[in-house]
Amino acid sequence: MKQSKTLIPTMREVPADAEVKSHQLLLRAGFIRQNASGVYSYLPLGKKMLRKVEDIVREEMDDAGAVELLMPALQQAELWQESGRWQTYGPELMRLKDRHSREFALGATHEEVITALVRDEVKSYKRLPLTLYQIQTKFRDEKRPRFGLLRGREFVMKDAYSFHSSQESLDEVYDRLFEAYSNVFRRCGLNFRAVIADSGAMGGKDTHEFMVLSEIGEDTIAYSDTSSYAANVEMAPVVTVYEKSTDEQKPLEKVETPDAKTIEAVAAFLNVPAEQCIKTLVFKADEEMVVVLARGDHEINDIKLKNLLNAVTVEMASEEEASALFGASFGSLGPVGLPSDVKIIADNAVQSIANIVCGANEDGWHYVNANMDRDFNVSEFADLRFILEGDPSPDGQGVIQFAKGIEVGHIFKLGTRYSEAMNAVYLDENGRTQPMIMGCYGIGVSRIVAAIAEQFNDEKGFVWPADIAPFDVHLIPVNVKDEAQMEAAETLYDAIRQSGLSVLMDDRAERAGVKFADSDLIGLPVRVTAGKKAAEGIVEIKVRKTGDVVESTIENVVNVIRELQASL
């Protein structure tokens, strides 16, 4: 490709509204342009990268036995009403009416469409399992589109859906796609972890998120410093064993703690460590009030609480509701002296504290030296807190560390959530009607482009990995008015292409400084420069990543490039 024939609008300045490196550089290097908030055009270089990622995804999905199809973006409202999500999906689902006032959703995801399709076409266990995927534009009206391609409103996704007549079959395909996903992200050069995730409202069982480790990630991952264990921080169990304290129990004492409403304030005022305090929280679990105790330096994890209580919803009680129960405001609540019908549960860590500091259920007062069983009762201990850095890894290997992650993939055992709601059934070996068991599997294709961009850059611009770079070689005649340089460049342009490598040639009549700066910004792996020595048949080859420069005869350039590529 000749640069004069394509559109690579590079920019010197950093765009004001681009907060993160990938977004800034994708704009500056002319890979994308914004059309509307969260809506982008992929310019020629961006489109090339998108296709490279798509091809990798397609290869790995095909290898894993999934079959490609293409479903529409326009989805009839009736399907979403069948699944119940027309009501529950909220404003992220973009909706419109056609000329006959029929309602449609713009595909944010395709569970409904594919479930209806397979329901209509597959009737027997003999046609299962079936794994179908598509690479397609999706629409989600994000509340806060940001970071360029990382969180857009129109984006490219690979979504796959599998249908099974047994849990074992689902497990097998799930594992196969787990491998396929790992291959995709590895081939894209990404530093990622497969993370145990929350199955949340979907009601499924197993689910993994594939997270690219990055400071700008919106999710926190708890991972082992020695094993492959990784989980969304919300999902990691705490396996620390807490023994009951054997400290001597001191007499309960009520002390005035004016204006001390937080654990920090109380601990400082009483000059005790936060670990000596407990925080007393009140939740409403499906309308039942539950008192939850945690050590002063720990945070309660709603999801663990919800799972423990087997509740549909769990939320914090309001201050009014808490006051009605305790006779005191937030900041002075405590378990001592509560009515015996109030359910008190506690995180495991609480059992190892003796002579506890806790609220006295009177505004401005706390107890010191409260002790379990003597001064209050706990009906149940459980793992209720968020894991912390330094906690032992749940798999027994190493200790937990935290990292931020960008979600680029998600695989999910859906079970019969959609097949039951939409009556997607098959006849089993015994002629009985059964709901299909389903899995779903997503990859954010355009988000991968951004994640790679985020990971592979330096102060001058992009430093693309070889398999993803929009072109293999950047060929630069320094002065396009110099005949020898242009002749060398044209010869090399043909030779490099004939060797099977792709090449971008900067044939613009720009100053050398501009061309080199643009070249560094665009970040192709290898640059070939035809400068003053071109007249002697010598050109310069530079590796973007290392900055290493070698000279070569024009005839030998392809061989040198091949050697350099092999050494990277």
Q: Which residues bind its own copies (CB under 8 A)?
A: 1, 4-7, 9, 33, 35-36, 39-44, 46-48, 50, 65, 67-76, 91, 94-96, 98-99, 102, 104, 106, 113, 117-118, 120-122, 126-127, 130-132, 134, 137, 139, 141, 143, 153-154, 508-509
In the complex, minimum distance from the CB of residue 35 to its own copies, in angstroms, rounded to a whole number: 5
Helix H or strand E encompassing 294: strand 288-295
* 342 alpha carbon, distance to own chain's centre: 40
Closest to its own copies by CB, 70 or 566 = 70
> How many CB atoms within 10 Å of residue 126?
10
In the complex, minimum distance from the CB of residue 497 to its own copies, in angstroms, rounded to a whole number: 12
In the complex, minimum distance from the CB of residue 29 to its own copies, in angstroms, rounded to a whole number: 13
Closest to its own copies by CB, 42 or 192 = 42
Instruction: Give me the count of residues in the chain.
Output: 568
Closest to its own copies by CB, 236 or 449 = 449
Closest to its own copies by CB, 64 or 370 = 64
Which residues neighbour 78 within 8 Å (Cβ) at sequence distance 6 or greater? none
In the complex, minimum distance from the CB of residue 85 to its own copies, in angstroms, rounded to a whole number: 17
> How many CB atoms within 10 Å of residue 193?
20
Instruction: Classify the C-alpha dihedral 397-401-403-407 as positive or negative.
Output: positive
Closest to its own copies by CB, 138 or 279 = 138
In the complex, minimum distance from the CB of residue 270 to its own copies, in angstroms, rounded to a whole number: 49
In the complex, minimum distance from the CB of residue 26 to its own copies, in angstroms, rounded to a whole number: 14
Cis amide bond preceding 44, omega within 30: no
Closest to its own copies by CB, 311 or 450 = 450
In the complex, minimum distance from the CB of residue 358 to its own copies, in angstroms, rounded to a whole number: 44
> How many CB atoms within 10 Å of residue 87?
9
Write the DSSP symbol of residue 536. G
In the complex, minimum distance from the CB of residue 456 to its own copies, in angstroms, rounded to a whole number: 21
In the complex, minimum distance from the CB of residue 155 to its own copies, in angstroms, rounded to a whole number: 10
> How many CB atoms within 10 Å of residue 546?
11
> How many CB atoms within 10 Å of residue 354?
18
Alpha-carbon gap, residue 536 to 532, rounded angstroms = 8
In the complex, minimum distance from the CB of residue 44 to its own copies, in angstroms, rounded to a whole number: 5
Closest to its own copies by CB, 44 or 189 = 44
| 333 phi, psi to nearest 5 deg | -80, 150
Helix H or strand E encompassing 256: strand 253-256
In the complex, minimum distance from the CB of residue 537 to its own copies, in angstroms, rounded to a whole number: 30
Closest to its own copies by CB, 98 or 264 = 98
Write the DSSP symbol of residue 244. P
| 176 phi, psi to nearest 5 deg | -65, -40
Alpha-carbon gap, residue 455 to 448, rounded angstroms = 10
Per residue, the 3-state secondary structure of 72-93, as one string, reads: CCEEEHHHHHHHCHHHHCHHHC
In the complex, minimum distance from the CB of residue 94 to its own copies, in angstroms, rounded to a whole number: 6
The answer to whether 304 and 380 have CB atoms below 8 angstroms apart is: no
Closest to its own copies by CB, 126 or 244 = 126
Alpha-carbon gap, residue 477 to 370, rounded angstroms = 80
In the complex, minimum distance from the CB of residue 84 to its own copies, in angstroms, rounded to a whole number: 19
- Could you give the C-alpha distances from 512 to 300, 463, 479, 509, in angstroms and in order? 60, 20, 7, 9
Closest to its own copies by CB, 43 or 222 = 43
Of 406, 11, 360, 385, the C-alpha closest to 235 is 385
- Which tokens go with 33? 């342009």
| Identity of residue 177 | L
> How many CB atoms within 10 Å of residue 39?
13
Q: In what order do the strands lie in the sheet with 278-285?
A: 314-316, 278-285, 288-295, 343-347, 380-382
Q: DSSP secondary structure string, 41-58?
A: EE-HHHHHHHHHHHHHHH
Closest to its own copies by CB, 16 or 70 = 70
Exposure letters 194-221 (e unless 16+ CB within 10 A, then b):
bbbbebeebebebbbbbbbbbebbebbb
Of 140, 145, 142, the C-alpha closest to 157 is 140
In the complex, minimum distance from the CB of residue 121 to its own copies, in angstroms, rounded to a whole number: 4
